[in-house]
Amino acid sequence: MQPKSTKIISIILLFFMVICLSSCDKVPQVTEYCSHEVVIDKAVPATCTETGLTEGSHCSLCNTVLVKQQVIPAEGHSSEEYDFDIENHYGYCLKCGNRFTEKHDMDPETKKCSKCDFETVTPPPFPSGYITKEHTTIETEHFICEIDADTYIIDNLEYYLETLFDALEVVSGLSFNTAELGKILVEVKKAQAVDGYVSETHIAYAYFNRIVISTGDLFISGGHAIAHELSHILQNHNCGWNFRRILPEGFAVYTTYKVTKYMEENYPDIAYALEAAENNMRNEKISAEGYKELYSKPLSYWQENHLPHSMSSDYAIGFRLMKYLDSVYNDYSSWITEYQKVNPFTPDVSDDRLDIREINRVLPMTYGEYVEANFYTWLKRNEGFFEEKPDNTTDRTHLSYINIYPKYNYRLSAMCFEGFEYQDIYFNIDQLRRYITEYKGDKLGNFRFFFGALEPTTIKLYDSEGNLIAKHFSETAVGTYSLEGVGFIQFVGRGTIMRFNISGFASIE
Ligand SMILES: [Zn+2]
Ligand SMILES: [Zn+2]
Ligand SMILES: [Zn+2]
Ligand SMILES: [Zn+2]
């Protein structure tokens, strides 16, 4: 047991310890009485890559921080012009002068990089195509298509054919008669060598209710042969006599002209797969001497004879004749149904060729005795309509995406869309590449395209997934660009492409 005095001392000690602790506790309060000596902590500017600090201050006596310095994030490099790839952009920094590489700063909403031009778009739902492995039959409401093996066919051929079928009835005022005559047989022929060149458009003709046509003319490289041959079928369905030259060819070329114009307004995707309406007139020029010659003989003479100084006599005269009937009589097709009434054709006749005297009866029978004489009077006033327009552009501004194909004709010619007015249109390069390599068996070398436009042009090149590979602005409205790795391209904004050529594969280098 401790002595009592020791116990008291302990209590006193404890008392002082408590006092001491509580007064020690109050030590910081001493600063209230420090007459701070303020020292500025200088700001440290952030650099492109290092963080910085804002200006601050502290007391040199008591070390109290008076204004806290804040961390300034590194600013990052910045440039006015960037190169980029799918991952990064590259530039020379305006501030530090260094070449730098950065990951894109993608906005998840717009899928665009905040700094460079890089963007990702959803690839457009381009139509596709396939190569038949064996003989293939496609039956639709009004057609039976018998397709050769090893033939390139667009997807959804039914849509193209049936829409064209309906449109032909609308523009001509005639109806097909598949109910009685059966479905129209379309024999699709694979490419064939013509003079050593494998042509995709070597054949196109129509029998009574049957068309034979090359695969390249079936909504692929922009020919209008399918519309022309279907026009012949339409005439046959209403009167199957062979009217020989001007009348049937005139009906076919003029109906094709009308139907392609109709398609341009109502089905631009199909119109694109055919050919510009104005191109129907290209084969049908008549020179000044040709007109003189034409007017010197009655129309009946030209029903049997070739007109000199014209590219294709029957087409040239026939087109003008049908345009005349359409303009003056507001009807260019009822000679077909009228003649059928007086001299009915049945599919079992052994010789379908009409005598020339019969052919000369056809128009007066329907339109009156002056129809032929008035034709020349009308034509003299309207020759200008048939002149080729210097800038025959077609309005395709309502198309947002389309496949493009080269035209493997007797030689590989330009793409089909000379005079093409666009608004933000995408062209499918993947399908073009497939067509050239897998189908045509060409080897790609320096695969590239050239275009000529009416205005300065911005184009964007994307890979197959929709990542922007390159963006080009062509001030001079012409340009040649590589298609290496390109899945599709876009012509940006509004403009007019006058020429579009691709090259860099074996057939055209
Ligand atoms: Zn102080
Ligand atoms: Zn920098
Ligand atoms: Zn970027
Ligand atoms: Zn024809």
Contact 300, 376 (CB under 8 A): no
Ligand closest to Cα of 75 equals: 2
Assigned domain for 446 exists: yes
Q: Tokens for 389?
A: 């327009």
Of 248, 455, 389, nearest to 332 by C-alpha is 248
**Whole-angstrom Cα distance, residue 466 to residue 446?**
22
Assigned domain for 312 exists: no
Ligand closest to Cα of 232 equals: 4
Q: Which residue has the higher pLDDT, 411 or 490?
A: 490
25 CA distance to ligand 1 middle (Å): 19
Contact 90, 100 (CB under 8 A): yes
Task: Say what the pLDDT of residue 391 is.
Answer: 65
81 CA distance to ligand 2 middle (Å): 13
Assigned domain for 315 exists: no
Structural domain range at position 149: 130-238
Assigned domain for 7 exists: yes
- Of 118-132, 433-447, 495-509, which has the strongest mean pLDDT? 118-132
Of 481, 475, 469, nearest to 457 by C-alpha is 475
- Could you read off the pLDDT of 213-245 as tens digits, one per residue? 999 999 987 788 999 999 999 999 999 999 989
**Whole-angstrom Cα distance, residue 357 to residue 416?**
41
469 CA distance to ligand 3 middle (Å): 12
112 CA distance to ligand 3 middle (Å): 8
Beta bridge partner(s), residue 94: none
Assigned domain for 115 exists: no
Ligand closest to Cα of 77 equals: 2
Of the candidate ranges 61-75, 124-138, 432-446, the one whose mean pLDDT is the lowest:
432-446
**Whole-angstrom Cα distance, residue 399 to residue 243?**
39
Q: Tokens for 483?
A: 């298609």
Mean of pLDDT over the chain:
88
Per-residue pLDDT, averaged over 178-184, amounts to: 96
Contact 323, 254 (CB under 8 A): yes
Contact 279, 256 (CB under 8 A): no
Of 210, 124, 131, nearest to 436 by C-alpha is 131
Report the share of the chain in percent with pLDDT over 90. 63
Assigned domain for 404 exists: yes
- Could you read off the pLDDT of 455-473 as tens digits, one per residue? 899 999 999 999 999 999 9
Assigned domain for 307 exists: no
Task: Say what the pLDDT of residue 228 is.
Answer: 96
241 CA distance to ligand 4 middle (Å): 14
89 CA distance to ligand 2 middle (Å): 13
Beta bridge partner(s), residue 478: 452
The domain total for the chain is: 3
pLDDT at residue 328 greater than cutoff 90: yes
Assigned domain for 55 exists: no
Q: What are phi and psi of 357, to 5 degrees?
A: -65, -35
Q: What is the value of ipTM here, to two decimals?
A: 0.74
- Could you read off the pLDDT of 19-55 as tens digits, one per residue? 444 444 444 444 468 889 999 999 999 998 899 999 9
98 CA distance to ligand 2 middle (Å): 6
Of 60, 75, 86, nearest to 486 by C-alpha is 86
Q: How does residue 5 score in pLDDT terms, banded at 50, 70 and 90?
A: low
Task: Say what the pLDDT of residue 302 is.
Answer: 94
